[in-house]
Amino acid sequence: MIDNEKGDLWTKVNSGKLEIRIPMEEGIEGYVASKEESVNVMDAYQDDRFSKQVDIQTNYKTNTLLCVPIMDQNKKAVGVL
């Protein structure tokens, strides 16, 4: 979800035990949120927009990535999926 007050994106993983926050201008998620357009990446580590921060925090290695904006009724991004 987009946190406009703090200028970042946040989510909870691992049944809510871990909260992850990344700056809005960072990573593919930030790109999708700010540009309000979908991105389909076949090799995340080869994409210059990709940030390893979430992989490091979750001990997971992202390979392919499909990221889309979540829009509100006014067609404004409120998050990414």
Query: pLDDT (tens digit, 9 = 90+) per residue, 20-65?
Result: 999 988 999 999 999 999 999 999 999 999 999 889 988 999 999 9
Domains and CATH numbers, the chain: 2-80 (3.30.450.40)
Cβ neighbours, 10 Å, residue 27: 23
Residue whose token pair is 């927009």: 49
Q: What is the DSSP string of 6-63?
A: TTEEEEEETTTTEEEEEETTSHHHHHHHHHT--EEES-GGGSTT--THHHHHHT----
Which two tokens mark 49? Answer: 């927009």
Displacement of CA 35 from its chain's centroid (Å): 12
Confidence tier at 67 by pLDDT (50, 70, 90): very high
Alpha helices in 1-81 (DSSP H): 27-35, 53-58
pLDDT at 81: 95
Going by the DSSP 8-state scheme, the letter that residue 11 receives in this structure is E
